[in-house]
Amino acid sequence: MTKILVTGLATLDLIFRLEHLPKLGEKYLATEGFLSGGGNAGNAAVAAARLGGQVSVLAAVGRDDVGALILRGFQQEGIDTRLVIQLEDYQSSFSSIAIDKSGERQIINCRNTLGPGNLDVLQNLPIQDGYLADSRWNEAAVATLKLANKFSKPGVLDAEAPVSYEAVSKASHVAFSRQGLCDFTQNDDLLSGLRSLSNKLDNWICVTDGSAGVYYLDQGKTRNVQGPQVLAVDTLGAGDVWHGAFVLGLAEGKNELDAIHFANLAAALKCTTFGGRIGMPTRSTLSDFNLSVMESKSV
């Protein structure tokens, strides 16, 4: 199995489905609700594991009930939690999430920040086939991407604002969100921001833009790779699924374009099911979905 290390934020999500996103200071009745693990790294780890990766996760939780549920969620997915740091007097991260009938979401997250300590757990980690880090814990992201660089393995940064230059410079592959790229470049034009970075950095860079697909530069030319069109009922965690699938694809030996197609499929399929992680595909469901997409194109 392909070994992946995923580093960053793990949370517990309380997810509500409503007709419309809340706008007023009043009570709202949800039509459905779920309790699910979440967080950029947490979701990406689960996505990579369901798609067949042998996943380890580096994150921090408190010794509290929320932390226990986060750990249990990982363990139920077969994810190695020996690198998860459990801290006294530390509040585990959690979120309240509202999702409307179109699949758009509103997130309120409560989390603590961590510094450069507690990273000695990486010292005896066996070499992985791929490394993924989000930008929520910068020092851990930099340490993880340095390992990828040391062993000449794919080191992917999930770059959501705020993003440090050090983390970007250490990654072999940087996948910005639209907001992350605009914040990092201080440029609201996605394509010019992408070009300006490619002129300054040597790593491979792309930007994910939801249903508009993924943009990257190929020998100076802008490429846009869109995913299959689906009826989206829950976009929560779709970007995280994309990153988990992308790093797994690279670690398995796919080139960047094939890894993008693989990740686009996984993210699109996730959006068709409500409930956060419930909709994250397995390798077999993704293969079936890919076949149905190919058949619909041939008609």
- Rounded CA separation 29/19 (Å): 9
- The Cβ-side half-sphere exposure at 197, using a 13 Å CA radius, reads 27
Instruction: State the pLDDT at residue 299.
Output: 59
SS3 57: strand
Instruction: State the pLDDT at residue 257.
Output: 97
User: What is 184-219 written as a DSSP string?
Assistant: HHT-S-HHHHHHHHHHH--SEEEEE-GGG-EEEEET
- Rounded CA separation 109/120 (Å): 27
| pTM score | 0.94
- Rounded CA separation 134/11 (Å): 13
Instruction: State the pLDDT at residue 284.
Output: 97
Instruction: Return the closest-CA partner of residue 268 out of 235, 292, 291, 244.
Output: 235
Strands 221-225 and 214-218, by their bridges, are antiparallel
CA distances from 223 to 116, 205, 256 (A): 37, 12, 12
**Nearest-10 Cα torsion for 206, 145, 268, 296:** 70
Angle subtended by helix axes 40-50 and 238-251, to nearest 10:
50
Instruction: Give the strands of the sheet with 11-17, arranged side by side.
Output: 32-38, 11-17, 93-99, 105-110
CB < 8 Å & 24+ apart, contacts of 116-124 = 118/60, 118/85, 118/87, 119/143, 121/58, 121/82, 121/83, 121/85, 122/58, 122/83, 122/147
Instruction: Provide the residue-wise pLDDT of the chain in tens; the chain has 299 residues.
Output: 899 999 999 999 999 999 999 998 899 999 999 899 999 999 999 999 999 999 999 999 999 999 999 999 999 999 999 999 999 989 999 999 998 888 888 999 998 877 777 898 898 899 999 999 999 999 999 999 999 999 999 999 999 999 999 999 999 999 999 999 999 999 999 999 999 998 888 899 999 998 899 999 998 899 999 999 999 888 889 999 999 999 999 999 999 999 999 999 999 999 999 888 999 999 999 999 999 998 887 65
Q: Could you give the angle at the alpha carbon of 172 between the alpha carbons of 45 and 175, nearest 5°?
A: 60
What is the phi-psi region of residue 103: left when phi exceeds 0, alpha when psi lies from -120 to 50, beta otherwise?
Answer: left
Q: Which residue ranges form the domains of the chain, and what is each CATH number?
A: 3-112+126-286 (3.40.1190.20)
Strand partners, 158: 134, 175
Instruction: State the pLDDT at residue 232.
Output: 87
- Rounded CA separation 162/183 (Å): 7
Beta-carbon count within 10 A of 35 CB = 14
Instruction: State the pLDDT at residue 274.
Output: 86
